[in-house]
Chains A and B, each alone.
Chain A
Amino acid sequence: MFLINCPYCGERDQSEFSSGGEAHIERPKQPTELSDDEWADFLFMRKNIKGIQFERWNHSHGCRKWFNLIRDTSNDKIHGIYKMGEKPPKV
Chain B
Amino acid sequence: MKNKYSIFSLFKNAFSGHENWQRAWRDPEPKKEYDAIIVGGGGHGLATAYYLAKKHNMRNIAVVEKGWIGGGNTGRNTTIIRSNYLWDASAGLYDHALKIWEGLSQELNYNVMFSQRGVMNLAHNLQDVRDLKRRTHANRLNGIDAVWLNTDEVKKFCPIINTSPNIRYPVLGGTLQRRAGTARHDAVAWGYARGADELGVDIIQNCEVKGIKRNGNKIEGIETTKGFIKTKKIGVVAAGHSSVIASMVDIRLPLESKPLQALVSEPVKPIIDTVVMSNAVHAYVSQSDKGELVIGAGTDSYVSYSQKGSHDVVEGTLKAILELYPIFSRMKMLRQWGGIVDICPDASPIITKTNIEGLYFNCGWGTGGFKATPGSGDLFAHTIANDEPHKLNAAFSLNRFVSGDLVDEHGAAAVAH
Residue from A13, A19, A48, A76 within 8 A of B243 (CB atoms):
A48
Q: How far is B239's CA from A52's CA once the two chains are assembled, in angstroms?
A: 20
| Binary CB contact string for chain A from 33 to 55 against chain B (1 if under 8 A, 0 otherwise) | 00011011101111111100101
Separation of A28 and B342 alpha carbons in the complex (Å): 26
Say whether A15 contacts B312, CB under 8 Å: yes
**Residues of B contacting A18 with CB < 8 Å?**
301
Query: Is A62 engaged at the interface, CB distance under 8 Å to the other chain?
Result: no
Of A1, A57, A73, chain B has the most CB atoms within 10 Å of the CB of A1
Residues of B within 8 A of A21 (CB): 256, 303
**For the complex, what is the distance from the CA of A53 to the CA of B257, rounded to whole Å?**
12
Q: Which residues of A are found within 8 Å of B247, using beta-carbon distances? A: 47, 49
Is B244 a contact of A44 with CB atoms below 8 Å?
no
Contact of B402 with A74 in the complex, beta carbons under 8 Å: no
Size range of the chain A interface in the assembly: 20 to 34
Contact A19 B301 (CB under 8 A): yes
> B211 in the interface, Cβ–Cβ < 8 Å?
no
Contacts of B302 in A (CB 8 A): 14, 19, 55, 57
- Scoring A36, A45, A74 by chain B CB atoms within 10 A of each residue's CB, the highest score goes to A45
Task: Report the separation of the CA atoms of residues A47 and B256 in the bound assembly, to the nearest whole angstrom.
Answer: 8
Among the listed B244, B253, B301, B402, which residue makes an inter-chain contact with A37, where contact means beta carbons less than 8 Å apart? B402
Output the nearest chain A residue to B342 by Cβ-Cβ distance: A48
Query: What 1/0 flags go to B308-347 for Cβ under 8 Å of A?
Result: 1111100000000000000000000000000000100100
Residue B306 lies at the interface, judged by CB distance under 8 Å to chain A: yes
Does A14 lie within 8 Å of B310, measured CB to CB?
Answer: yes
B74 to chain A, nearest CB (A): 20
| Residue numbers in A under 8 Å from B127 (CB-CB) | none
Across the interface, do B301 and A47 meet the contact criterion of CB distance under 8 Å?
no
Size class of B's contact patch?
20 to 34
A39 to B401, CA, bound (A): 9
Within 8 A of A (CB), among B226-275: 241, 243-244, 247, 252-257
A36 and B243 CA atoms in complex are apart in Å by: 21
Indicate with 1 or 0, residue by residue over B375-410, a CB within 8 angstroms of chain A CB atoms: 000000000000000000000000001111000000
A74 to B307, CA, bound (A): 9
New A-B contacts (12) at CB < 8 Å, excluding given A15-B310, A36-B402, A48-B243: A14-B302, A19-B303, A40-B254, A43-B401, A45-B252, A47-B243, A47-B252, A48-B255, A48-B256, A50-B243, A57-B302, A73-B306
Residues in B lying within 8 Å of A, measured CB to CB? 241, 243-244, 247, 252-257, 301-306, 308-312, 342, 345, 401-404
Name 6 A/B residue pairs within 8 A (Cβ), A-sorted.
Answer: A1-B310, A36-B403, A43-B345, A48-B252, A73-B305, A76-B304
Residues of chain A having any CB pair with chain B under 8 Å: 1, 13-15, 18-19, 21-22, 36-37, 39-41, 43-50, 53, 55, 57, 73-76
